[in-house]
Structure formats: structure tokens, C-alpha cells
Amino acid sequence: MAESRTKILLDESQMPTRWYNVVPDLPAPPPPPLHPGTLQPVGPDDLAPLFPLDLIAQEVSTERFVDIPGEVLDVYRLWRPSPLYRAHRLEKALGTPARIYYKYEGVSPAGSHKPNTAVPQAYYNAKAGVRKLTTETGAGQWGTALAFAGALFDLECEIWMVGASYDQKPYRRTMMETFGARVHRSPSDLTQAGKAIRADDPEHPGSLGIAISEAVEVAGQDPQTRYALGSVLNHVLLHQTIIGEETLLQFEAAGETPDLVIGCTGGGSNFGGLAFPFLREKLAGRMSPAIRAVEPASCPSLTRGVYAYDFGDTAGTTPLLKMHTLGHGFVPDPIHAGGLRYHGMSPLLSHVYELGLLEALALPQTECFAAAVRFARTEGIVPAPEPAHALAACIREALACRESGEEKVILTALCGHGHLDLPAYDAYLSGRMVDEDVTEERLAPGLTGLPPVPAGA
């Protein structure tokens, strides 16, 4: 049954009140994080300097569902449930018999899916008596989300922003400051990690890995300060499942079932948030969609990385995470989708990939921006560069359906708008954008610095 509406909305009374944890439904448990010193699985005590106990409990939870606190639901209602759109105009422009749906997270205060986890992270920290949160941000979407959440729960928020982005994206910094956060250019002189790098190169452009090292270092020094991460970890993906849970209800209201679920992957939280509830339904035999992750050709952790234990940051201060990684010393080309420029992939998503439960695909950025412009001129929304990758994969599939005549139902996550990414559009429209690929030399032996981990770990 085809849905004729443009938007499928839920009333806030229909908003799901539980997050979904995919772990107990998987055929095998994911490998645990390891302590970098002992190479033993980390325990709650190892994580307590960085995260409050509620979040640590969620990180290792084997419960299928976790109740969303009322205070978090109250904030979610500022923008949730988010709309599910039927892309009638894009379908028509493509001449495809496929039916394309997109779940739009750009309606949030930060303009992306990131507040879905920033809000509960701020809530649990405030509840634990924490006074200040530190974090890193690359393109600025995560920092904006945490700044917003911090404002609501009266938490100070101190953000290390990757130097190159700090210099090139002053608007993003202003948005974080509007929400009340303090923003530092990383590497900074405020940390040992930053100082060490600046000693070699005072103008160092920074990286996400370096900014993480700085934020973690500062959080570890003060008992009333904790650290917040915007992707990669289990509790982050857990919070993002509100996306997929809402979408299931919306598909039910539309009388549709997806044949294909497509999302973009950087650290993996947007993709996991959309896909895991659908994976549950698939594992239970209630539907059978293909599930496809799309990553940039210039940072192809799932498609060309190795599955190994690696650090989450550059300085090597985090626990070791088993994930698809390009090596924590890998420096991605400066592509415009800053949210996808991370050397590793969520361990949980990596595990699901290893189990053969999802497909992965890497796309060059000019194809993604061409898709984004096509989308803007038909559907009206200017997408962020990250979901432009998912849209490009949708368009590939829709055009294949035009050839085959298949009426596939395609679902994707439009995880944010591109209002603060317009310089990348300018680069594309003016022909200055080039596709950069990763040469084999950089990948092998480019997987630098992986620590020795016993084969059995």
C-alpha cells in the first residue's frame, strides 16, 4: 500500500518511552573494551572518572529496553517525534517506481540527531551531581548539541573544537556560545596533550582524535567534571534508537514495510539509531529489509579498515575498542562531511557487520553533493553533507528500480540540515570540489600504532 501523505507525524503522546538495546537480540555478544594497560576488560571503576554510573550501566547493559526518564522525554518534546517524509517529488524527478521515505532529524535545536543523546547524557550527569561536561567537536554538530543540553540542565560545557574547523566555521562556534558553552581551539595550551602537539607545531590544524585526548584529560582531573562522547559508544547508539522506534510506528501508520534501510556512518550513532529497531524486527522474522551503511570513500573504516582493537583517540588514552578501524593515527583527507571523518567505527556496529547483518558501501563526495543538490531542488531541504551520502545511495537504488521496475520501499535517515555547511555546497557548485580516495599505501601498513592485543581477547 502506497502512502500518499507527504509527512507522517506522530503526536507527542505517541512518542516511544523506551530506548532499544540490540545486544541481547544478537546471536553473539560484542567483544568488551579492554584496559590499555592490563588488556583486561574494563570495569565500571575504570570508566567512573569519565562517565556517571547510569551511563556506564547502559554501556554494558544486556536489557532489551531502557526506560527514558521523564525529564528527558520533556526535552525530547521540543522537537520529537520527528517527521517521516515520503519523498514524492524526488521519486517523480527520478522517474522511479520505488517509494522513498526519509526520517528527518534536522528539526532538533542543533539541527541534527545529536541532541537525542546529548540530552540524556546531560541529564544523567546532572543527576549524579556533575557540574561540568567536556567534549570534542569536529564539524560542530555534536558540540552544538551538548551546549544546548548543558543549557537545559545547568551544566557548564567546555568544548575542544578541531582547529581547522574552529578557523573555518566561526558560525558553529557562535552557535555553541549562544547556548552558553565555552569553546577552545584544539590543540590548546590548556592540556598536556595539546601543549605537546603545539610545541612541535604551534599552528597545528588539530584532529578529532587530538580534541578527544584534550577533553578526556580535563575531565579526568576534576571530580565534578565528566566527559561526553557524541558517537561510537553503546550508550550513545542506545539513545539514538528513538529514531528507529518512532520510524517503526510511522511505517505502521503508513501501512508500509521497508525493503531497504540506508544510513550514513561516521562513528555509527545515526545509523545504529535508525537501523537497530529494524534489525530487531528482521531478526524476529517480522520484516526482512536489507540494511546498508554508507561511508565516505576517503574514510572507509567499514569497507577497507581492519577489525581490531584500537584506541578511540590519538594520544592513546581511551580504553581499547574492537572495531573496524583505519588506525588511530590515520588522518582522513579533508572532506566536507566532518561528521564522517573518524578513524574507527562503533564497536557494536562493527560487531553487527562482522555477524553479516548489514551491508556497507563507500561513496565519493561529489556524487553525494550531486545527490544533495538534487534533493534540495525537489524536496526543499538542504541536507548536511553526512546524510548526503545516504541520499546518494538511495538515488542509486531508486534508479536501479527504474530499470528493474521494482517498487521497493526505501527508508533513509536525513540526520541533519546543511545550513552551517554551505561553504561545502559552494565548493561543489563552483566546481572546486574533488574526490579524494585513500591509497593502498596509506591503508597498509597505514594501520599505524595498533597496540598488541592477545589473539584471544
Nearest distance from residue 428's CB to a copy of itself, in Å? 9
128 forms part of the interface with a copy of itself (CB under 8 A): no
Nearest distance from residue 142's CB to a copy of itself, in Å? 16
Q: Please give the backbone phi and psi of residue 139, each rounded to the nearest 5 degrees, phi first.
A: -65, -20
Nearer to a copy of itself, 10 or 197 (CB): 10
179 forms part of the interface with a copy of itself (CB under 8 A): yes
95 forms part of the interface with a copy of itself (CB under 8 A): no
Which residues, numbered 182-241, are part of the site for a copy of itself (CB under 8 A)? Answer: none
C-alpha cell read off for 385: 553533507
* Burial degree of 200 (CB within 10 A; 0-12, 13-18, 19+): exposed
- Distance, in Å, from the CA atom of 420 to the CA atom of 407, rounded to the nearest integer, reads 35
- Distance, in Å, from the CA atom of 272 to the CA atom of 358, rounded to the nearest integer, reads 11
Identified binder of a copy of itself from the candidate list 27, 129, 255, 380, rule CB under 8 A: 380
Identified binder of a copy of itself from the candidate list 39, 151, 287, 290, rule CB under 8 A: 151
Nearer to a copy of itself, 39 or 78 (CB): 78
Nearest distance from residue 174's CB to a copy of itself, in Å? 4
* Region from 291-299, 310-318, 379-387, 436-444 binding a copy of itself, contact rule CB under 8 A: 379-387
- Distance, in Å, from the CA atom of 334 to the CA atom of 355, rounded to the nearest integer, reads 31
Whether 237 contacts 274, CB under 8 Å: no
Nearer to a copy of itself, 69 or 220 (CB): 69
H or E, element range at 328: none
- Distance, in Å, from the CA atom of 337 to the CA atom of 173, rounded to the nearest integer, reads 17
C-alpha cell read off for 323: 572495531
C-alpha cell read off for 272: 545504529
* Region from 49-57, 173-181, 256-264, 302-310 binding a copy of itself, contact rule CB under 8 A: 173-181
- Distance, in Å, from the CA atom of 179 to the CA atom of 166, rounded to the nearest integer, reads 17
C-alpha atoms less than 13 angstroms from C-alpha of 31 in its C-beta half-sphere: 26
159 forms part of the interface with a copy of itself (CB under 8 A): no
- Distance, in Å, from the CA atom of 166 to the CA atom of 183, rounded to the nearest integer, reads 9
Whether 140 contacts 161, CB under 8 Å: yes
* Region from 171-179, 219-227, 263-271, 360-368 binding a copy of itself, contact rule CB under 8 A: 171-179
> Which neighbouring-strand residues pair with 7?
85
400 forms part of the interface with a copy of itself (CB under 8 A): no
Whether 241 contacts 20, CB under 8 Å: yes
373 forms part of the interface with a copy of itself (CB under 8 A): yes
Nearest distance from residue 85's CB to a copy of itself, in Å? 8
Nearest distance from residue 51's CB to a copy of itself, in Å? 24
Which residues, numbered 102-121, are part of the site for a copy of itself (CB under 8 A)? Answer: 107-109, 111, 115
Angle at CA of residue 263, ends 257 and 264, nearest 5°:
175
177 forms part of the interface with a copy of itself (CB under 8 A): yes
Nearest distance from residue 119's CB to a copy of itself, in Å? 10
Identified binder of a copy of itself from the candidate list 92, 195, 286, 377, rule CB under 8 A: 377
Give me the 57-76 binding string for a copy of itself, x by CB under 8 A, dash otherwise: -----------------xx-
- Distance, in Å, from the CA atom of 407 to the CA atom of 91, rounded to the nearest integer, reads 11
252 forms part of the interface with a copy of itself (CB under 8 A): no
- Helix runs in 62-181, H state only: 70-76, 88-94, 115-127, 141-152, 163-168, 170-178
Nearer to a copy of itself, 355 or 429 (CB): 429
Give me the 403-442 binding string for a copy of itself, x by CB under 8 A, dash otherwise: --------------x-xx-xx-xx--x-------------
Whether 360 contacts 352, CB under 8 Å: no
For the chain, helix (H) and strand (E) counts, in that order, are 18, 15
List of residues contacting a copy of itself (CB under 8 A):
5-7, 9, 11-12, 74-75, 77-79, 85, 89, 107-109, 111, 115, 148, 151-152, 170-171, 174-175, 177-180, 373, 376-382, 417, 419-420, 422-423, 425-426, 429
